[in-house]
Structure 1
């Protein structure tokens, strides 16, 4: 799957980008018609510990899912966002099966 990663106001290291790619590749187990995905990494300038924001947009035929999570680390936020997208993809697939 094509994953576009953009980091806002900082440079993401190769380890984080490879983690994102492997985690996003697992989404194809749940819904095999995923076209592409965009991942936006942002750091909020606050004194709170949960200042890492991850926004994931997943494009599938005739639809798009957007999930935004804020956590202490990017890895935790990506895991949380991917879990939400997995649930949405499974729900979409079940709906598609009920129409057939």
Structure 2
């Protein structure tokens, strides 16, 4: 599985990439049909101080791509929330898929 990172207005962070890669690897081990993950980190100009850091993840798997994003006060927190949302989507996708 390939994981691509893209930063928009954020300095690249190897520690953050390691954290997200660990979470995505857990998803990959549970759902082996995932082919690729694209991770986007972005800072947004908002009026609230607690929701400036946005994490988006797009997963390539059989069928339509899966996508989730969230904004929080830290990239670690928003990444965890995005992974949880994607796990719910993957569980639904796995239920629909049938083996022949």
Q: TM-score if structure 1 supplies the norm length?
A: 0.90
Hey, what does 1:4 align to over in structure 2?
4
Structure 1, unmatched stretches of 5+, are none
Say yes or no: does 1:17 pair with 2:17.
Answer: yes
1:1-100 alignment runs, 5 A limit: 1-48=1-48, 49-97=50-98
Structure 2, unmatched stretches of 5+, are none
For 1:41 and 1:30, how far apart are their aligned partners in 2? Answer: 24
1:30–1:89: 8 Å Cα contact kept in structure 2? Answer: no
For 1:6 and 1:85, how far apart are their aligned partners in 2? Answer: 18
- The CA RMSD over aligned residues, in Å, is 1.5
How many pairs were matched up? 99
Q: TM-score if structure 2 supplies the norm length?
A: 0.90
Ranges of 4+ aligned residues in structure 1 off by more than 4 Å = none
SS of residue in 2 equivalent to 1:37: strand
Deviation, structure 1 residue 46: 3.2
